[in-house]
Structure 1
Amino acid sequence: MHPPLYADALLRIWHTADPPGLRLAGQVDLTNQTALVGHLLAVDGAPADVTLDLTEVTFLNFASLHALVAFAESLEPGRRLVVHTRTPAVAQMLRACGWDRPEVPLTLLEEITDD
């Protein structure tokens, strides 16, 4: 496995090539959300969608979710941010804030676990 692009006490971020995007592990909060957004902005997948694998994320604060939606809204027309999660709270927060509206270029893919 390649070393992460970013690592701190809470979060690790890796680049993914197929599909273009990022894979995260750990917790996203105010201390590292700027790093997350910076790495998202550096993803070069045009004209492809940008995938964000959050299946190993155990916590994502509200401000970070808002930053993800702002990033999705900044993408060129026709591109989407595709978010993979196993954490029901992330999906629930996105829906509660209305960020699953069709006009927001964000697709949420939830993986159901057997635990």
Structure 2
Amino acid sequence: MEVIAQRDERMLRITTTVDPPGLRLEGELDATRHQAVMEALSPLTAEGGEVRLDLAELRFIDLGALRLLTSLVERSGNEVRFVLDNLSPQMENLIETVGWERLPGLVQGRKETS
């Protein structure tokens, strides 16, 4: 499945990954794209467990998107865990500033090496 939330230079491309189960997010994730991400994540979070998000090509994420992820964890009764793979240095800094401890259910994943 592939969803393109908006057709412009700042579009968000959402691609389902199978191994591991999750999503690849490319582009920019701001408030105008939260609903598309929510719809893509819903089937993946229905049964709980770990969902991997490959963020290697995500250029921007807003605080609302991080809150959206933690709210999905809360709604699942903490049965879902999002593993954030390939965080950019900017996103790592944002999350460090907010504090991982304030984002229950979000964990730093692997980092691909070139």
The CA distance in 2 between the partners of 1:92 and 1:110, in whole Å, is 16
Query: Residue 103 and residue 23 in structure 1: after superposition, are their counterparts in 2 closer, same or farther (change >3 A)?
Result: closer
User: Which secondary structure does the structure 1 equivalent of 2:92 belong to?
Assistant: helix
Calculate percent identity across the aligned residue pairs: 29
Segments of 5+ residues of structure 1 without an aligned counterpart are none
C-alpha deviation, 1:61, in angstroms: 1.2
Answer yes or no: is 1:18 the counterpart of 2:15. Answer: no
Tell me which moved more, 100-109 or 63-72.
Answer: 100-109
Equivalent residue, structure 2, for 1:29: 30
Given the two structures, how large is their TM-score scaled by the length of structure 2? 0.78
CA positional deviation for 1:113 = 5.9
Please tell me whether the aligned partners of residues 23 and 54 of structure 1 are also in contact (alpha carbons under 8 angstroms): yes
The separation in 2 between residues aligned to 1:62 and 1:37, in whole angstroms, is: 15
Supply the AA of the counterpart residue of 1:106.
Answer: L
Q: CA RMSD in A?
A: 2.5
Q: Secondary structure at the match of 1:42?
A: helix
Change in 2 beyond 3 A, CA 1:29/1:78 = closer
Q: Which residue of 1 aligns with 2:70?
A: 69
Aligned match of 2:3: 5
Q: Deviations over 1:31-50 (max 9, x none)?
A: 11111112111226735311
Aligned to 1:84: 85
Q: Which structure shows the bigger proportion of residues in helix conformation? A: 2
CA distance 1:26–1:90, shift in 2 (3 Å): same
Contact 2:45 2:80 in 1 (8 A): no
Note closer, same or farther for the CA distance 1:44–1:97 as it changes in structure 2 (3 Å cut): closer
How many residue pairs get aligned? The number is 111
- Summarize the alignment of residues 86-101 of structure 1 with structure 2, pairs less than 5 Å apart: 86-98=87-99, 100-101=100-101
Structure 1's consecutive aligned runs of 4 or more residues displaced over 6 angstroms after TM superposition are none
* TM-score with structure 1 setting the length: 0.78
Number of the residue aligned with 1:108:
108
